[in-house]
Amino acid sequence: MLQMTKPEDMKNLIPLLLITLLSACPQFITAQNEATDETDGVENLESHQERNIGIMARKLLTDFSGPLDKEPFDFQKWNGGFELGLRVPINHFFDVAIPFKASSITLPEIERNVNIFSVDLQGHLSPLSTSGYFHPYLVTGLGFVLMDGDDFSLALPAGLGTNIRINHRVDLNLELSYRIGLGSGLPGDSYQMAVGFIYNLSDRPVEKPKTLPELEAPATPKLLDSDGDGIPDIYDLAPGTTGKPEFLGGLDRDGDGIPDHLDKCPDQPGTAENKGCPDEEKETEVIAIDDRRVEADDEPAEEVIEEQEEEVSDIPLEVQEVLNVAMRAVQFDLGRATLRPESFGILNQIADIMSEYPQYNLRISGHTDNIGSASNNQRLSEQRARSCFEYLASRGVSTSRMSFVGYGESRPIDTNETPQGRANNRRVEFNLYLR
């Protein structure tokens, strides 16, 4: 141990040394930043990733008996303490740390506890430093140790540690070191372990990937176009004859707008419905429905079929009133075919009616207002009618006694120019009939 002739002078020297080091750090960092600003923009961003001054607060564990007993991890002999300090990043690979350590320990050959205070000037080298969450580093430096306020000595720390990033401000820090006492007396060599946090005084900038060099686009190869119609031969349907670009170079000899390779009558103008062939007079097909004759070209036979269904005349008025109320009471989620819970009650009543009158069938028809496209409204009306159909089936109504259809916006019962009229047109109708 180095004994000072005036211990009182050393007590004053340690705070003075700490103040000097702290005051020099901002100037050193400023000089480093000015030098780095002259480098390339991408490299400049990377070198600033970890340049954040941080405050260290760690739990300190020390063992002065282990180096003598050759038992470094006999934790019953380890003593506790605390550590406060600063971490000052210099560049992407090197930090300077200034920790102040204090602990009450039991030294070999001394039966009482002694107080140890020290200030270290450490360098943290990160040869494997990356931009990820783990930052391992090597520790070395010089420590100034004061024991019981009287004896001053030096120590040389050597070890390793890691910073684990928690967020843009906080790092979890773990460090294990062996301290070589520079002297022949106490306190001597020791093991030290520190666990704690480092709080960075500014946010880390968000890392950005390096800009990739721009690559020249390869020259587009010139493809052969022997007929000069603008369609390369490998895509041209008629590579030896000038054709139309809209037909991929194909021909349309009859000029009916249907390319020859799709035209069944390429030399006679025709229609798309006849696959390029001219219209022919069609014989009228007669369909017999219950002794009535309906020509196939007439309006759809659906209305005729519906007229076959006998009107219900012997259903009580209260039952018909339930069906009329259902037209308004069945509710769906906005723009969807999902039944709302308030619809279940009236649908349950309809299921009871179907059970009470087994001789009748039920037609469910869905309707919408004219908001939106006609195709969407048609699909929505069918889906809503089907939802009612499936619900009644789940209540025991035979699917052979029910049918559903969607009419979209084609059969309004009120004007679509007012909100109330549109609400009336959005409905599901339930009609009983006999076959």
**Distance of alpha carbon 312 from alpha carbon 297, whole angstroms:** 31
Q: What is the pTM of this model?
A: 0.39
CA distance 285 to 296: 5
Provide the percentage of residues in the chain whose pLDDT is more than 90. 26
Q: What percent of the chain has pLDDT over 70?
A: 73
**pLDDT per position as a tens digit, 4-33:** 334 344 444 444 544 544 444 444 444 444
Q: Please check whether residue 83 is in contact with residue 157, taking contact to mean a CB–CB distance below 8 angstroms.
A: no
Dist CA 406 CA 380 (whole Å):
8
Residue 383 has pLDDT above 50, yes or no: yes
Q: For residues 31 and 227, which has the higher predicted lDDT (pLDDT)?
A: 227
Residue 228 has pLDDT above 90, yes or no: no
pLDDT, residue 148, reads 78
Contact (Cβ atoms closer than 8 angstroms) between residue 336 and residue 416:
no
Give residue limits of the domains in the chain.
7-200, 230-276, 281-310, 311-433
Q: Which two tokens stand for residue 94?
A: 């090197």
Q: Give residue 260's pLDDT.
A: 79
Q: What is the largest CA-CA distance in the chain?
A: 133
Mean pLDDT estimate for the chain: 76
Nearest Cα residue to 410 out of 363, 369, 365: 369
pLDDT of residue 51: 59
CATH class assigned to 311-433:
alpha beta
7-200 carries CATH number 3.40.640.10 = no
Instruction: Please say if the pLDDT value at position 137 is more than 60.
Output: yes
Q: 310 - beta bridge partners?
A: 434
pLDDT at 25: 43
Is the per-residue pLDDT at 414 higher than 80? yes
User: Can you tell me the mean pLDDT for 223-252?
Assistant: 76
Region 306-335: what's the mean pLDDT?
A: 72
Q: pLDDT class for 43, splitting at 50, 70, 90? A: very low
Sign of the torsion formed by the C-alpha atoms of 167, 170, 174 and 179: positive
Which pLDDT does position 104 carry in this prediction? 85
CB 1 within 8 A of CB 151: yes
Q: Does the pLDDT of residue 174 top 60, yes or no? A: yes
